[in-house]
Chain A
């Protein structure tokens, strides 16, 4: 479909896109290479592009420095968030779309305005409350906070998908005598599944990518990978290659998700804005 207006040759567009892609991928390739370099190569000027790769940094960091545990914490908090966030958001989106009155518009609007809450304002009460309730430095408190922060976005995302589900579908099921539980499990979940997958991925990323809440709310026990590499990288430039290995570990799950995700992420992302 090259139906667009003419502003230069198509070949030029490809060249420009390739250049842009290199610009956006270069930092990631750079960090991968650093993590595979021996210290001598890592600090060589000019930068060495050909070198004998070593997996020593990765081995040391993941197996001896306990970073595997931080990765586990990050993944556990991510999955925990998904497990609570997605079902709650699916039910809420279903209820709000089918109710469709002034009250549900008001709820949706309040949720949208919650999305602009500054995390920095709430992290202070979280810290104080978590210490009172002895929840400081637990994965549970992180999951709870991430779920709540994610709800507005997740509900709006699911709402975009729900709007495409014909009303007749679930109304017919209700007339046929479906109770609320079967209605959800047999009718709503199957048709909303693609939307739920997209919402799950975005919810996971929100929790997995968090830094501020984990920095304030966790100590040694529930520390997440972003906080751990942030600390480690700050100590000494000589740890360069080691923390580069950590950064690669943070990035890898995201890139894997990206490959599985591909289609539909933009659709979901913009659905709420257009409708």
Chain B
């Protein structure tokens, strides 16, 4: 069989991807150049939608919120996930049991976890405020304070996807040969030193992989926030995706909504480029 012939096997997948991803992408790019309100005749306006969106304080507010949300959530997920991975690596019996138990939240429908957390944060009957009161802490009014509403959606995101980070890092820890640790132990390195100078450098590719996955998903998160707060109170939890949804499907400004989507794509490309550069540095250094 000639080498090129192997590519025939790729055709079904490529056709699917082209028809269902590339064609709509072209459609989206094309109509992002139009002033297009649903139900009206589209009118060509060039790049005006892109500018208009950038000048909209609502959009800039949502970008800032997404930034806070993503940075806060991803760093917490990484720290907690690393701690969990080290704990799983440390124990002798039950690694498998705890990995399976911990992985359950990751697989559950985000819209469903949004509902669960909305009930848990409800002021009067919510279990979280009952616990806080039991500990004599005055509970905040989660969904009427802009700050605490953002905190509540962040807690839900940390709850759902910290185990993913933990399990991926745990798999990495398990693949590190024991000898490289033993040698350092003989040299009298402490636990923290081992972690900092041996484990983390060895895990670097996996850490980068999981961080970029989490960053992109947090940046694009829609369903759980939409179900929990719908962007409220006011626009206190309206991240870029929720802003995009409101522009398109509630204000029916399709052209501007598409422009917001393209800005999102560009920002994700930026994240990807940073990630690739870090990976590249990784391979040239070693």
Q: Which residues of A contact B (CB under 8 A)?
A: 1-7, 10, 13-14, 16-17, 20-21, 23-25, 27-28, 30-31, 34, 42-43, 45-47, 84, 87-89, 91-92, 94-96, 98-99, 101, 103-104, 107, 111, 113-122, 124-126, 128-129, 144-145, 147-149, 151-152, 155, 174, 180, 205, 208-209, 211-212, 216, 226-227, 229-230, 233-234, 237, 240, 243-244, 247, 250-251, 254-255, 257-259, 262-263, 265-267, 269-270, 273-274
Contact of A120 among B8, B122, B192, B244 (CB under 8 A): B244
- B10 proximal to A (CB < 8 A): yes
A4 touches B130 (CB 8 A): no
CB distance from B225 to the nearest CB of A (A): 11
B17 touches A151 (CB 8 A): yes
Contact of B115 among A95, A152, A230 (CB under 8 A): A230
A266 touches B112 (CB 8 A): no
Contact of B108 among A21, A94, A125, A251 (CB under 8 A): A251
What interface size band does chain B fall in? 35 or more
Q: Which residues of chain B are near A209, meaning CB under 8 Å?
A: 107-111
- B64 proximal to A (CB < 8 A): no
A124 touches B17 (CB 8 A): no
18 more A-B residue pairs beyond the given contacts A5-B194, A128-B254, with a C-beta to C-beta distance below 8 A: A5-B181, A27-B159, A46-B134, A88-B16, A107-B14, A120-B241, A122-B24, A125-B24, A128-B31, A147-B16, A211-B110, A211-B222, A250-B109, A251-B112, A255-B104, A265-B103, A266-B167, A270-B206
Interface class of chain B by DSSP: helix
CB distance from A81 to the nearest CB of B (A): 11
- Which chain B residues numbered 30 to 69 have a C-beta less than 8 Å away from chain A? 31
Q: Which residues of chain B are near A128, meaning CB under 8 Å?
A: 27, 31, 254
- Which chain B residues numbered 204 to 253 have a C-beta less than 8 Å away from chain A? 205-206, 209-210, 216, 220, 222-223, 226-227, 230, 241, 244-245, 248-249
Closest to B13 in A: A92
